[in-house]
Amino acid sequence: MTWIVLLFLVLGVVFNIMGNLGVLVFPDVYTRLQASSTCGTTAVFSVFIASMLITGLSVMTAKILVITLFFLVSSPVAAHIVARYAWNKDMVVWRKFHD
Amino acid sequence: MIDTALLIVIYIFLGTTIVSMIRIVIGPSAVDRMIGLNLVSAQVLAIFVLIAVKDKLPVYLDVALVYDIFGFVGLMAITKYFADKDKEDFTGV
Amino acid sequence: MDLHRKWKIVRVVLTTFYLMAGWVLFTAALDPLMLGLGLILSFFVSLLTFKLFIEKNEVDFHSLLPRIHYGVFYLLLVIYKMYVASFKMLWLIIRGRINPRVVHFRTRLKSDIARVALTSSITLTPGTVTLSLDDDHLIVHWLDAKTTHSRYAGELVKGVFERLLKRIWI
C-alpha cells in the first residue's frame, strides 16, 4: 500500500513540474492553456487519489471524494471559459511554418 | 515514511506555485494571467488537502471545498468583466 | 390541479432530495435534530432555486435520472484517457515539436447536459481544448494535429465518448 501511495505522489509531482515548465515554454495562449489544463488537472487528481488511499475508510475520504468530483467538473469548465474568451477576442492561433 | 513524503510534496508544491506566478507577472495579455491564476488556484487546493491529511484535521477539507467553489466563481466573474469592458471599448463609449 | 403545478411539485421534491444528500454528506451527523434542520433548510433553498436546477421544458426522463452503471464506466474511461494524454503531453513538452491546428466538427448528441459532458471530456483528453460550443457545432484546438478533415478528426477526437454518452443520456 505504501508503494502505491508513493507512486501516485511521485506522479503528481512530475506532472506538476512539467505542467509549469510547459506554461513557461510554449509560444501561444492556446498551447499554454493546453499544458495548464491537462497536466495541472492530472497532477492535482493524483494527489487526491493518494490522499484517499492514506485516509482509508472514514469521513475524510468521503469529503475528499466530493472535492475530487467537483474538481473534475470545475477544472475543464474553467479552461473552456478562458479558451472561449480568447477565441471570441479573435486571438491568432500560432502555427509552425512548413518547409 | 509517508509523513516525510507528504512534507516534501507540500514544499515542492509551494515552490511550483511561486514558479507559476512568473507567468502572472510577465504574461503579455490578460488571458495569460488568467491561465496562471487558474494553475495557482489548483495547486493551493492540493496543498490544503495535503495539510489536512498530514495533520488529520478535517476542518481543512471544508475550507478546501469552499476555496474551490469561490475560485471557479471568481474566474467566471473576471472573464465576464473583461468581456463587457472589451465590448464597451469596441463601440467607442 | 393542472399539469404545471404537478410538475412544479415534482421539481421541488427532486431538488430537495439532491440538497439533502449533500447536507448528510457534509455534516456527517445522523441525529434526528440535525436531519430535521437539514430537511427544513433544503426545502427552503429548493423553493428558491428549483427553476435554475431543473428546466421547465425538460421532458426527457433520462436527463433527470441518468443510467448510473454506464456513468461509472464512463468516469473510469475518462480517468484512464486522462493519464494517457498527460504522458503524451509530457513527451511533447520535452521534445518541443508541436503542430497546432483548429478543427471544426458536429456532434449527434441531443440533450444539453450530454453536450456539456462531451465538451468537458474533450478538454481533459489528448491535447485538445474546446474553443466554442454552438448548438451542435464544436470548434476544437488540437495540439499536434494529425488531420484537418472534419469527419475523420471528429472520429479521432470524440469517437468513444460520444457512443457511451448516447447510452447514458441519449
Domain extents in chain A: 2-88
ipTM of this complex: 0.86
Q: Do C100 and A30 contact (CB within 8 A), yes or no? A: yes
Residue of C nearest to A43 (CA): C86
Asked if B31's CB is within 8 angstroms of A91's CB, the reply is yes
**Residue A63 at interface with chain C, using a CB cutoff of 8 Å:** yes
Torsion of Cα atoms, B60 then B63 then B68 then B70, to 10°: -170
- Chain B residues touching residue A54 (CB < 8 angstroms): 2, 53
Do C152 and C108 sit in the same domain of this protein?
Answer: yes
Dihedral (CA of A78, A63, A55, B52) sign? positive
- Chain A residues touching residue C26 (CB < 8 angstroms): 63, 66
- Chain A residues touching residue B22 (CB < 8 angstroms): 24
Do C105 and C135 sit in the same domain of this protein?
Answer: yes
Sheet holding C128-134, edge to edge: C101-106, C137-142, C128-134
Burial A75-84 (b: 16+ CB within 10 A, else e): bbebbbbbbb
Residues of chain A with pLDDT under 50: 99
Average pLDDT for runs of 10 along chain C of length 170:
80 86 77 87 87 69 69 87 86 80 81 82 80 82 76 75 76
* Of A9, A20, A91, Cβ closest to residue B5: A9
Domain count, chain C: 2
* Min distance B2 CA to chain A CA atoms (Å): 7
Do C153 and C97 sit in the same domain of this protein?
Answer: yes
> What range does the domain containing C18 cover?
3-58
Question: Residue B45, Cβ neighbours under 10 Å: how many?
Answer: 22
* Residues paired with residue C105 on neighbouring β-strands, in sequence order: C138
Return the DSSP state at C54.
S
Q: Which three cell numbers stand for residue B60?
A: 481543512
Report the SS3 class of residue C124: helix
Do C41 and C91 sit in the same domain of this protein?
Answer: no
Q: Do C53 and C15 contact (CB within 8 A), yes or no? A: yes
- The pLDDT value given to residue C78: 87
Do C41 and C84 sit in the same domain of this protein?
Answer: no
Question: Residue C163, Cβ neighbours under 10 Å: how many?
Answer: 10
- Chain A residues touching residue B79 (CB < 8 angstroms): 81-82, 85
Return the DSSP state at B56.
T
- Percentage of chain C with pLDDT > 70? 92
**Residue B65 at interface with chain A, using a CB cutoff of 8 Å:** yes
Domain count, chain B: 1
Question: C98: left (phi > 0), else alpha (psi -120 to 50), else beta?
Answer: beta
Mean pLDDT for all residues in chain C: 80
Touching B: A residues 39-58, CB under 8 Å: 40-41, 43-44, 47-48, 51, 54-55
- The pLDDT value given to residue B91: 61
Do C72 and C106 sit in the same domain of this protein?
Answer: yes
| Residue C19 lies inside a defined structural domain of this protein | yes
Asked if B65's CB is within 8 angstroms of A63's CB, the reply is yes
Residues 6+ apart with CB under 8 A from A78: B38, B72, B75, B76
Dist. CA A88–CA C59, nearest whole Å: 32
Do C103 and C25 sit in the same domain of this protein?
Answer: no
| pLDDT (tens digit per residue) in C57-94 | 665 565 666 677 888 888 888 888 888 888 888 888 88
- The pLDDT value given to residue A99: 47
Asked if A84's CB is within 8 angstroms of C83's CB, the reply is no
Dist. CA A51–CA C118, nearest whole Å: 28
- The pLDDT value given to residue C4: 80
Asked if A42's CB is within 8 angstroms of C100's CB, the reply is no
| Residue C63 lies inside a defined structural domain of this protein | no
Distance of CA B32 to the CA centre of its chain: 13
Do C90 and C153 sit in the same domain of this protein?
Answer: yes
Angle between helices A2-25 and B2-26 (to 10 degrees): 10
* Min distance A96 CA to chain B CA atoms (Å): 20
Asked if A67's CB is within 8 angstroms of B38's CB, the reply is no
Asked if B68's CB is within 8 angstroms of A71's CB, the reply is yes
Do C87 and C52 sit in the same domain of this protein?
Answer: no
> What range does the domain containing B77 cover?
2-91
Could you read off the pLDDT tens digit of each residue along chain B, which spans 93 residues?
888 888 999 999 999 999 888 888 887 888 888 888 888 999 999 999 999 988 888 888 888 888 988 888 888 898 888 888 877 766 654
